[in-house]
């Protein structure tokens, strides 16, 4: 099994000191920096644009992972690529032609990702497995940070892992929502490889120690 990748979500960072917070976690062991983009329509919250992605790229040398919770994500593709997004993950319900968008993301040099809400079946991803570099399983209903990990998420992660393995897909299996030292072990055992952690990192007294503790929980759960 590959080593876990910890991806702190800047949705829980201090917006007044965003570059500082990004540098702190990047230098403190974060593997990826996760940027949640919300338009106030697909989900009931409004967050960042491409300028924040550009700021994250300037602040550190970590992989910048972008998750778009927006309607018609195709309208944002080139803007986010130009800003330096290194992955482009969207929801299949948000666009009419997800395969076309995945291919376009790859053509622009980004990892192509698909995100599944808690109520979205894995079947929505199965027909697109060959076009995926990343499959994101939402373990809360998207829209806000600090939510509690939903019961049954480990089972869906395990089924997603089986789906990827059955198709011999090398895609990352990412989880987002309610990731703490209490929940990361179960998600790791179920087969997830990338862990988005917001409040449990940026809300901690010591974010660097929080990242280390999350990684340790995976190590003891092997």
d(CA 203, CA 13): 8
> DSSP assignment, residue 9?
B
214 backbone dihedrals φ, ψ, rounded to 5°: -60, -45
CA distances (Å), origin 67, targets 50, 175, 196, 217: 12, 11, 11, 25
Active-site annotation holder among 21, 36, 39, 65: 36
Distance CA 202, CA 209 (A): 11
Identify whether 176 is a catalytic site residue.
yes
Is 206 known to be catalytic? no
* Backbone Cα Rg of the chain: 16
The single residue of 31, 39, 154, 176 carrying the catalytic annotation is 176
**Residue 170 to residue 165: CA distance in whole angstroms:** 8
Q: Could you give the residue numbers annotated as active site? A: 36, 176
């Amino acid at each position: 099994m590959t080593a876990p990748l910890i991806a702190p979500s800047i949705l829980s960072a201090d917006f007044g000191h965003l570059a500082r917070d990004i540098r702190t976690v990047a230098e403190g062991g974060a593997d990826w920096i996760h940027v949640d983009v919300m338009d106030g329509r697909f989900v009931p919250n409004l967050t960042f644009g491409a300028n924040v992605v550009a700021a994250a790229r300037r602040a550190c040398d970590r992989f910048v992972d972008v998750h778009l919770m927006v309607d018609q994500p195709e309208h944002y593709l080139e803007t986010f690529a130009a800003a330096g997004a290194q992955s482009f993950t969207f929801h299949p319900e948000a666009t009419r032609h997800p395969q076309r968008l995945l291919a376009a993301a790859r053509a622009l040099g980004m990892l192509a990702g698909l995100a599944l809400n808690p109520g979205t079946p894995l079947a929505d991803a199965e027909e697109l497995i060959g076009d995926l570099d990343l499959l994101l399983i939402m373990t809360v209903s998207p829209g806000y940070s600090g939510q509690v990990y939903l019961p049954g998420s480990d089972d869906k992660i395990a089924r997603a892992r089986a789906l990827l393995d059955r198709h011999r897909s090398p895609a990352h299996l990412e989880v987002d929502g309610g990731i703490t030292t209490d929940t990361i072990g179960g998600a790791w055992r179920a087969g997830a490889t990338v862990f988005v952690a917001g409040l449990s990192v940026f809300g901690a007294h010591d974010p660097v120690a929080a990242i280390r503790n999350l990684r340790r929980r995976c190590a003891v759960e092997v």
